[in-house]
């Protein structure tokens, strides 16, 4: 997995290039009329199943609780650094207050397992055993519904398939040899304020999370998902915070180990 190439791709996406659908239309391609197919029907890649995080880098930041003041790679502004330097896990409130580092903006970097499944044709659910959290990805133009949801640790996630869905691919590119299928893009807002890292680096309720999920199969048959993430926050960050994490597919529910949120534990 070429991480530098993936991050470069994410930056290009962040810059706002035209979508493959728009590009195809500019070449004179006609979009098929009729009702919009469900996200499950046109999914170009199958993300369902059980996936285990594989920590190949930044071990000391992910497999351990970093010490106070360890801000490497976090683009924190002075106020965010001041707040983070006050972090003390012993002073975090009990119960739900322990979940500040398990919010959507950080949880994909916490070691653990994911269980992904469709709950209906336009809703994809991701259960996470670390912190016993659940993320819900809403398709079918649901972005506007975010304004009506109260802030939560996992926020409101609007999802869409990047590229042209597989079910429409043949009709749109017949005979061209073109393959413009993509992965999953998720935009998450309405998050409760939390930590980008276990040791208190904050993000605010104004933070926005953009993620790109790419599934692929290695020559040896191993299935992987790589998640490239971009966190922006006008209150605490001086620049977008970019990360990339990898998950390997494993047998269903193998090693599944739901744990509570814990401020003083790596997971």
Dihedral (CA of 154, 193, 247, 75) sign: positive
Containing H/E element for 8? helix 3-15
Model confidence over 122-171: pLDDT tens digits?
999 999 999 999 999 999 865 567 778 899 999 999 999 997 555 554 45
In Å, what is the CA distance from 76 to each residue of 105, 195, 197? 14, 11, 11
In Å, what is the CA distance from 80 to each residue of 62, 75, 102, 151? 20, 9, 18, 21
Length of the chain: 267
Model confidence over 53-96: pLDDT tens digits?
999 999 999 999 999 999 999 999 999 999 999 999 999 999 99
Q: Rounded to whole angstroms, how far apart are CA atoms 137 and 127? A: 11
Model confidence over 35-49: pLDDT tens digits?
788 999 999 999 999
What pLDDT score was predicted for residue 141? 63
**DSSP-assigned letters across all residues of 13-43:** HHHTPPPHHHHHHHTTPPPPPSSPPPHHHH-
What pLDDT score was predicted for residue 31? 44
């Amino acid at each position: 997995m070429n991480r530098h190439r993936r991050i470069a791709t994410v930056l290009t996406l962040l810059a706002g290039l035209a979508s493959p659908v728009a590009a195809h239309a500019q070449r004179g391609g006609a979009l098929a009329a009729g009702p919009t197919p469900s996200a499950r029907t046109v999914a170009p890649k199958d993300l369902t199943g059980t996936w285990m995080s594989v920590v190949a880098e930044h071990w000391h930041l992910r497999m351990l609780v970093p010490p106070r003041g360890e801000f490497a790679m976090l683009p924190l502004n002075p106020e965010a650094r001041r707040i983070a330097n006050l972090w003390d896990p012993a002073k975090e409130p009990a119960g739900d207050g322990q979940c500040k580092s398990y919010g959507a903006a950080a949880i994909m970097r916490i070691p653990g397992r994911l269980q992904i499944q469709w709950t209906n044709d336009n809703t994809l659910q991701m259960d996470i055993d670390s912190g016993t959290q659940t993320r819900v990805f809403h398709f079918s133009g649901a972005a506007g519904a975010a304004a009506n949801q109260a802030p939560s640790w996992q926020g409101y996630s609007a999802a869409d398939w990047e590229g042209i869905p597989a079910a429409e691919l043949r009709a749109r590119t017949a005979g061209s040899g073109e393959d413009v299928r993509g992965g999953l893009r998720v935009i998450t807002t309405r998050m409760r304020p939390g930590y980008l890292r276990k040791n208190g680096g904050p993000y605010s309720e104004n933070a926005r999370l953009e993620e790109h999920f790419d599934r692929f199969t290695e020559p040896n048959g191993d299935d992987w998902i790589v998640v490239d993430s971009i966190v922006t926050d006008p209150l605490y960050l001086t620049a977008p915070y970019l990360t990339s994490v990898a998950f390997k597919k494993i047998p269903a529910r193998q090693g599944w180990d739901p744990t509570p949120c814990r401020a003083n534990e790596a997971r």
